[in-house]
Structure formats: C-alpha cells, structure tokens
C-alpha cells in the first residue's frame, strides 16, 4: 500500500496546483478556467471512490477536457493496484478546442502510461471497441450532453461494460441526460445506485442478458 501511495503523489500534486491556480494552459499558451468545465472537487473525488469500490482495472471516459476527472480515475486505478490497469478516453475536441490541455495535465501527473487517448467522437469509436471484443469495468459519460448523443453513448457502453457494472453519468440534472438514462432503467433493467450533488448519477447495468420480447417497450 505504501508503494501505491507513493505512486499517486504526483497526481495529488497536480490536482492541488489546478485547484490553487484555477486555470489550465494548453499547448497554445492560453490559460483556460478550470471551472465550470471540470467536475466540482467533491464530485470528482466521489468518481474516484467508485472506481475503487468497483475494483476497476479497465475504465473508459467520454470527454477529457482538462483531465480533472481522468486524474481522479487514474489515481483510483493506481490505488487499486492491479497490473494492466488502463484508462481509455475519447474526446474529439481535445487537440484543437482545448489545445491538448488535458493531455498536458496527464503528462504533468505522470499517468500518460495509463491512458489510451482517442481524438474522435464516441459514437464512432465505441462500435469499433465492440467489434474488437474490448470490455471495461466502469464507464464515465461526460461528452456531448444532447439527449441523442448520450443515449447512443449509453447504448454502446451497455455492451462494453461488464454485466452489472457501473456507468457514471455527469450532468444528470439536465433533462435530456436524465431522459436518456430513463430508457435504460425502464427497458433494460438498469438501476440508479446513487446521485451525487444532484448532478452525477451512478447507474448499474443489468446483471442478466437482455431477454426482452421484440414487441416489448416501456415508456420512459
């Protein structure tokens, strides 16, 4: 455990600097405010706690931005101490819109070896992961916040996350996101385990295989 604590010290140092300075510099030298883009500190810490609770080894995140949530996920992966830990992130806006600010943060924290980054839209990447037979222990959705995009993200993650695994959804207070989650609860037997600070929902996928009749549909 002492070795794990040592491994997370650079992450804690970077988190401390981010919170103290309140901004992140991209490769273009422009300082961008950390909030409100990044998760609130308490919510990010709870995200890390769920990675620990699920004993996750392979995690996936939709939306990197300033990597504040990714830092907390990587921190928890290191504390879990499992060999082969990997955090996959996809964000089509990271290289241009954020000028690689999140990638730079990951490098500063020394966790780039844990992270597999894809600069593309999740609805294009996730089906390839399914085709390649990849699977994950926990997912975090914080990308495009429109109903249709979140719905598609959840649909594909439902096939990528282990049965009975956790999918954590940010901005659950937005009607479109809450509505998207509601479909999977009503029709696929997913459950809401917790809602954090009225904005982040921890959703658990069904433990059993989908056995619905093709005519079944529950309004949501």
pLDDT tens digits, 47-85: 999 999 999 999 999 999 999 999 999 999 999 999 999
Return the pLDDT at 108: 97
Q: What value does the mean pLDDT of the chain take?
A: 96
Return the pLDDT at 4: 82
Length of the chain: 220
Beta bridge partners of 202: 168, 194
pLDDT tens digits, 156-214: 999 999 999 999 999 999 999 999 999 999 999 999 999 999 999 999 999 999 999 99
Structure tokens at 134: 């990849």
Return the pLDDT at 6: 87
Q: Which CATH architecture has domain 2-204?
A: 3-Layer(aba) Sandwich (3.40)
**Percent of the residues in the chain that have a pLDDT greater than 90, as a whole number:** 96
DSSP track, the chain = -HHHHHHHHHHHHHHHHHHHH-EEE-TT--EEE-TTTSPPHHHHHHHHHHHHHTT-SEEEEE--TTSHHHHHHHHHHHHHT-TT-EEEEE-TTTTTTSTTHHHHHHHHTT-TTTEEEE-S-HHHHHHHHHHTT--EEEEEE-S--SHHHHHHHHHHHHHHEEEEEEEEES-TTSHHHHHHHHHHHHHH--EEEEEETTTEEEEE--SS-----TT-----
Residue 193: helix, strand or coil by DSSP? strand
């Amino acid at each position: 455990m002492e070795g794990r604590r040592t491994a997370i010290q650079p992450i804690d140092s970077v988190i401390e600097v981010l919170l103290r300075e309140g901004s992140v510099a991209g490769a273009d030298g422009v300082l961008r405010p950390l909030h409100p883009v990044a998760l609130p500190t308490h919510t990010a810490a709870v995200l890390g706690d769920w990675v620990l609770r699920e004993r996750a080894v392979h995690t996936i995140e939709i939306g990197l931005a300033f990597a504040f949530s990714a830092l907390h996920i990587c921190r928890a992966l290191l504390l879990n101490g499992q060999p082969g830990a990997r955090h996959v992130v996809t964000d089509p806006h990271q290289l241009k819109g954020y000028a690689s600010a999140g990638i730079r943060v990951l490098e500063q924290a020394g966790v780039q070896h844990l992270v597999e980054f894809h600069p593309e839209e999740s609805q294009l990447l996730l089906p390839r992961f399914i085709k390649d037979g990849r699977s994950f222990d926990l997912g975090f959705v914080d990308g495009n916040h429109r109903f249709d995009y979140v719905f598609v993200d959840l649909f594909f993650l439902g096939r990528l996350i282990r049965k009975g695994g956790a999918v954590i959804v940010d901005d659950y207070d937005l009607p479109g996101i809450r509505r998207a989650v509601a479909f999977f609860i009503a029709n696929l037997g997913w459950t809401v385990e917790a809602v954090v600070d009225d904005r982040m929902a921890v959703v658990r996928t069904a433990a059993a295989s989908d056995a619905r009749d093709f005519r079944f549909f529950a309004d949501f």
